[in-house]
């Protein structure tokens, strides 16, 4: 217990009452999650160490307007982007509408189908706010009671996945104040997370809760502590603080971290951190449509760049990390400029 006790003594931000109002304890959060199969350590090792073939279950617990179009369309004239914007548009009916969304976005048959086509893992994006009251900031604080039932639906997804031997990567997709410029960070506008100690402290409290909830769930393959952060000078230090929190509660839960769109840099960072914190995996995302030059490249140019640049970079990082690397998101969607008059579907199919 020496290492565990030492790590615990270094961690700040324990669960306590704060200005967010009701702050549920671990037992209350666990009850909300619902009944899951008893923890099987041997089977958990299989889930965590096998090669993952997966898919993202996006926009269930961290909404994005381009995916969850139905729930946004009623408020199209108000232009909500982040989930918090949508809550403000919904007003008093947000609880009812969010519950209907969680209840219908996925069904048990989806997991049966995924299993049948060879998927053995899913990445489940969560906004930090799914923990409900006591864990909310900004717009989410005003509507925090909306999320008091969210963990029930999270637990249902995890249980359905377990039925079909599918692992679940619990991905904290959005952090307080936003960790990047995109609305999927839960905020609209420039990221505020790295400029606010209060937001960072709240994130650490959320990691404490999420670790308690999922460290002993057999088919949870890991906890991703942030999705697509900007490469901020504070990021490495925050990773160290977050890892200290998680390891104070679990010495073996795999922790996944984003590469800040700089894979070589964070492969080296994580290689150092692994010496102290054990099982860490780097998550990199691959898209070929966002950079200005990519929007002009033809498909043959992008294909050449993929094989001559991207694949060697991935291979080098994977070797440096002893295989602890995932491509957590990718897409073969290309910009219109890449087609040069050819059939887009045919071009993207060839690229894929």
pLDDT in tens, 253-263: 999 999 999 99
Structure tokens at 7: 């790590």
Which is nearest to 230 in space by CA: 177, 271, 191? 191
More confident site: 271 or 82? 271
Confidence class for position 21, pLDDT limits 50, 70, 90: low
Q: Which residues, 6+ apart, have CB-to-CB distance to 73 below 8 Å?
A: none
Percent of the chain with pLDDT over 90: 65
pLDDT digits (tens, 9 = 90+) for 54-104: 999 999 999 998 888 888 888 888 888 888 899 999 898 889 999 999 999
| Residue 17, pLDDT above cutoff 50 | no
Which is nearest to 186 in space by CA: 172, 171, 176, 194? 176
Q: What is the CA radius of gyration of the chain?
A: 20
Which is nearest to 211 in space by CA: 168, 178, 247, 238? 247
| Residue 6, pLDDT above cutoff 80 | no
Spatial contact of 197 and 187, defined as CB atoms under 8 Å apart: no
Secondary structure of residue 13 in the 3-state scheme: coil
Which of 106-110, 136-140, 206-210 has the least mean pLDDT? 136-140
Secondary structure of residue 228 in the 3-state scheme: coil
**d(Cα 140, Cα 192) in Å, to the nearest integer?**
15
Region at 222 (left for phi over 0; alpha for psi -120 to 50; beta for the rest):
left
Tally of CB atoms within 10 A around 216? 16
| Residue 13, pLDDT above cutoff 70 | no
Residue 257: in which H helix or E strand, if any? strand 255-258
Mean pLDDT of 311-332: 93
Integer CA distances (angstroms), 87 to 65, 83, 277, 338, in order: 13, 6, 38, 37
Spatial contact of 323 and 312, defined as CB atoms under 8 Å apart: no
Eight-class DSSP state of 282: E
More confident site: 14 or 282? 282
| Residue 294, pLDDT above cutoff 50 | yes
Give buried/exposed letters for 256-270 (b at 16+ CB in 10 A, else e).
bbbbbeebeebbebb
pLDDT digits (tens, 9 = 90+) for 112-164: 999 999 999 999 999 999 999 999 998 999 999 999 999 999 999 999 999 99
More confident site: 23 or 299? 299
Eight-class DSSP state of 308: I
Spatial contact of 176 and 203, defined as CB atoms under 8 Å apart: yes
Spatial contact of 42 and 220, defined as CB atoms under 8 Å apart: no
More confident site: 184 or 257? 257
């Amino acid at each position: 217990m020496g290492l565990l006790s030492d790590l615990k003594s270094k961690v700040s931000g324990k669960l306590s009452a704060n200005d967010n109002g009701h702050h549920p304890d671990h037992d209350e959060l666990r009850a909300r999650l619902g009944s899951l199969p008893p923890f099987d350590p041997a089977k958990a090792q299989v889930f965590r160490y096998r090669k993952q073939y997966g898919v993202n279950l996006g926009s269930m617990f961290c909404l994005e307007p381009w995916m969850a179009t139905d729930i946004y369309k009623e408020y199209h004239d108000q232009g909500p982007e982040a989930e918090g914007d949508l809550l403000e548009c919904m007003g008093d009916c947000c609880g009812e509408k969010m519950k209907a969304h969680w209840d219908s976005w996925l069904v048990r048959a989806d997991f049966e189908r995924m299993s049948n086509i060879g998927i053995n893992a899913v990445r489940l994006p969560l906004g930090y706010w799914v923990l409900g009251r006591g864990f909310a900031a900004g717009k989410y604080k005003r509507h925090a009671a909306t999320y008091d039932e969210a963990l029930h639906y999270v637990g249902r997804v995890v249980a359905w996945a377990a039925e079909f031997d599918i692992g679940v990567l619990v991905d904290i997709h959005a952090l307080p104040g936003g960790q990047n410029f995109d609305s999927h960070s839960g905020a609209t506008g420039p990221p505020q997370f790295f400029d606010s100690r209060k937001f960072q402290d709240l994130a650490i409290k959320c990691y404490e809760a999420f670790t308690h909830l999922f460290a002993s769930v057999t088919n949870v393959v890991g906890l991703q502590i942030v999705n697509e952060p900007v490469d901020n000078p504070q990021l490495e230090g925050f990773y160290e603080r977050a890892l200290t929190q998680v390891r104070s509660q679990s010495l073996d839960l795999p922790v996944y971290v984003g590469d800040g769109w700089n894979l070589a840099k964070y492969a080296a960072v994580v290689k150092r951190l692994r010496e102290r914190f054990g099982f860490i995996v780097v998550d990199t995302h691959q898209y070929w449509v966002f950079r200005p030059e990519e929007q002009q490249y033809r498909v043959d140019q992008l294909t050449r760049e993929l094989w001559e640049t991207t694949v060697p970079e991935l291979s080098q990082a994977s070797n440096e990390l002893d295989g602890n690397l995932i491509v957590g998101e990718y897409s073969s969607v290309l910009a219109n400029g890449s087609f040069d008059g050819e059939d887009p579907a045919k071009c993207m199919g060839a690229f894929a």
